[in-house]
């Protein structure tokens, strides 16, 4: 592809923020060059068609929002299906439980059949946890374990939270801050829909198709690391849109920001239906992976599941991040928050650089808020 000598915007990163910004800018008549270090577009929402199944290469992504503007925007580009996220958890006791915590969960756990019965069991265990802390002179939960016990009680904590959380963070619950789990959703209805948002679904044909539409009209370079020719790319534009790690942009002058990362073991199985659900969490500490994703269930429903004789699953492992690995989840503890604030102050002084997305803002985002942010940034 022959590049222009100059662009209104050079956009670093072809994920949702960069691609949405490119769509807006292109529609407004601006020229855009998008630079992506990977060999594909769409960042972590990248889907790849394998054996007739759209595989979520970087983990399960379910689009959900109550923002009608965002929902209408993405559906104007590609239609979304009616997928509803209803994960299931296999617990240490060997049973399967519905998530989020709802009347089905409480029935499976205790046999309670009415909201009043469920509330009584929850209050009994909450009060027990609070009384135990008071007996030890503890007035406020000091860590995630104490916070969770005070919110949900021992049974659900042991079966559905403890092992999963420790695998996810690679640390015992006693060493994790209480704020991580300040709220736990409890629904006193038989509703397995994980999200409360009005709109929910998956782009028909996968997220890569959505991002292709977002990027249409912009020039694109894959397998290109912005930092290999940083000054060159910056000289080619009026403004830079940067979606990469903010600490790398500033040469790690205040140190590395920390993340949790994820690795996947993906395989094709000679069966049309492996687990009957897109997402099954494994909450036991004895199981090394946090969940299994069966990709066909994101887009294939009912009897149509059996039209394809094979299925593809991914086992997801949460691991400690090290420089050079793919960063996934910011570790928003006190140390990292202080380091990020130093980088943020530098970013706020930039005149012609826009920072956006989870890596540049060091914040975990769902997909819809990323798009909303990109729609609101002044051009």
Tokens matching residue 273: 């239906």
197 tagged catalytic: no
Q: What are phi and psi of 202, to 5 degrees?
A: -125, 140
Given the residues 183, 303, 334, 348, the one annotated as active site = 183
- Of 24, 158, 260, 344, the active-site residue reads 260
Q: Which of 166, 219, 294, 316 is catalytic?
A: 316
Residue at token pair 């406020």: 140
Q: Does the annotation count 366 as an active-site position?
A: yes
183 is catalytic: yes
Which residue in 187, 248, 358, 361 is the catalytic one?
Answer: 187
CB-count burial class (<10 Å; 0-12, 13-18, 19+) for 260: middle
Residue 298: which of 314, 278, 271, 313 has the closest Cα?
A: 278
Taking CB atoms within 8 Å and a gap of at least 24, the contacts of 24-29 are 24/374, 24/375, 24/379, 25/218, 25/379, 26/216, 26/217, 26/218, 27/217, 28/379
Contacts made by residues 64-68, CB under 8 angstroms, sequence distance 24+:
64/195, 64/197, 64/199, 64/200, 64/366, 64/368, 65/197, 65/198, 65/199, 65/200, 65/366, 65/368, 65/372, 66/196, 66/197, 66/198, 66/199, 67/368, 67/372, 68/198, 68/199
Whole-angstrom Cα distance, residue 98 to residue 107?
10
Active-site residue, 291 included: yes
Respond yes or no: is residue 260 known to be catalytic: yes
Which one of 23, 145, 248, 291 is the catalytic residue? 291
Give the active site residues.
Answer: 183, 187, 260, 291, 316, 364, 366
């Amino acid at each position: 592809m022959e590049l222009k000598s100059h662009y209104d915007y050079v956009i670093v990163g072809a994920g949702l923020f960069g691609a949405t910004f490119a769509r807006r800018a292109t529609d407004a008549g601006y020229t855009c060059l998008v630079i992506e270090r990977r060999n594909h577009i769409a960042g972590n929402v990248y889907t790849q068609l394998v054996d007739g199944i759209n595989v979520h290469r970087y983990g399960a992504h379910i689009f959900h929002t109550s923002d009608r503007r965002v929902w209408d925007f993405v559906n104007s580009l590609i239609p979304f299906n009616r997928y509803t996220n209803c994960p299931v958890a296999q617990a240490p006791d060997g049973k399967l439980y519905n998530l989020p915590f709802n009347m089905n969960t409480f029935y499976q756990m205790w046999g309670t059949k009415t909201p009043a019965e469920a509330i009584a069991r929850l209050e009994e265990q909450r009060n027990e946890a609070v009384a135990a802390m008071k007996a030890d002179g503890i007035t406020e939960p000091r860590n995630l374990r104490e916070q969770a016990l005070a919110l949900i009680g021992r049974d659900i904590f042991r079966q559905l939270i403890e092992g999963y959380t420790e695998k996810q963070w690679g640390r015992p619950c006693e060493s994790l801050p209480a704020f991580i789990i300040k709220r736990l959703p409890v629904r006193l209805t038989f509703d397995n829909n994980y999200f409360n948002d009005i709109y929910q679904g998956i782009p028909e044909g996968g997220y890569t198709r959505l991002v292709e539409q977002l990027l249409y009209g912009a020039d694109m370079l894959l397998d290109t690391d912005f930092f290999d020719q940083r000054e060159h790319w910056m000289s080619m534009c009026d403004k830079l849109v940067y979606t990469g790690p903010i600490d790398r942009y500033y040469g790690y002058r205040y140190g590395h920001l920390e993340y949790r990362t994820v690795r996947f073991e993906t395989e094709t199985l000679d069966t049309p239906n492996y687990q009957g659900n897109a997402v099954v969490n494994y909450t036991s500490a004895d199981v090394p992976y946090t969940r299994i994703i069966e990709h066909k269930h994101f887009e294939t429903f009912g009897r149509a599941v059996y039209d394809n004789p094979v299925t593809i699953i991914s086992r997801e492992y949460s691991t400690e991040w090290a420089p050079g690995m793919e960063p996934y989840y910011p570790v928003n503890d006190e140390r990292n928050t202080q380091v990020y604030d130093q980088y943020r102050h530098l970013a706020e002084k930039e005149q012609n650089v826009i920072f956006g997305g989870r890596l540049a803002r060091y914040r975990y985002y769902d997909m819809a808020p990323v798009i909303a942010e990109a729609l609101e940034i002044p051009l």
